Amino acid sequence: MEKKENDKKVVIFTAPSGAGKTTLVRYLLNQLNDLSFSVSATTRSKRSHEVDGKDYYFLTQEEFDDKVSNDDFLEWEEVYEGCRYGTLKSEVERIWKQGKHVIFDVDVKGAVNIKNYYQEKALAIFVKPPSVEVLMQRLVDRKTETPESLNKRMARSKHELNYENYFDKIVVNDQLDEAKNSALNLVSKFLKPPL
């Protein structure tokens, strides 16, 4: 059952890499049945465990260019050289047709663009680490980064932390259970239909 126009909402989670936004988004998807995850499109290579259409829509550079030309993206960015990510307008419409609200897990610039596009229909939440040092340790603990990629991520993360005031709410992810409760309360209140 498709939502009425004034009931269609989007929830945007953004954060520097390693702050915990994906963990919070997964938690919310398990807690709130009326949320559905917006799958992003990317030009990066598919990893062995990933499924096209579930983890990402994997596009060639040419397919991505075509969609940019056709104004099919809400937002897109070249996050790392030769690696673009974007949010397809058709993905939001697909979820709304299912009668659900959309939840995004996107980078900071994408989040600003989506919030500007949907304005009052959007709740934008910035997930903040307790400190830059904690963020660095989380990225090191992942054991997925080379020293060079870790330095790039940290430089990007420090820059992204300057964007926190662009968003509606900030959740500090110091204690995960507290961050989960805070995120759940904020999102539940936003999605609740007006009386």
Number of residues assigned to the chain = 195
pLDDT per position as a tens digit, 136-195? 787 777 777 787 877 877 787 788 888 889 999 999 999 999 999 999 999 999 998 766
Q: Give the whole-angstrom CA distance, residue 135 versus residue 158.
A: 10
Domain segments of the chain as ranges: 5-191
Q: Give the whole-angstrom CA distance, residue 178 versus residue 183.
A: 9
Residue 70 has pLDDT above 60, yes or no: yes
Classify domain 5-191 at the CATH superfamily level. Answer: P-loop containing nucleotide triphosphate hydrolases (3.40.50.300)
Which residues are registered as beta bridge partners of 12?
A: 104, 124
SS3 call for 106: strand
pLDDT per position as a tens digit, 7-17? 899 999 999 87
Q: Compute the average pLDDT of residues 54-62.
A: 95
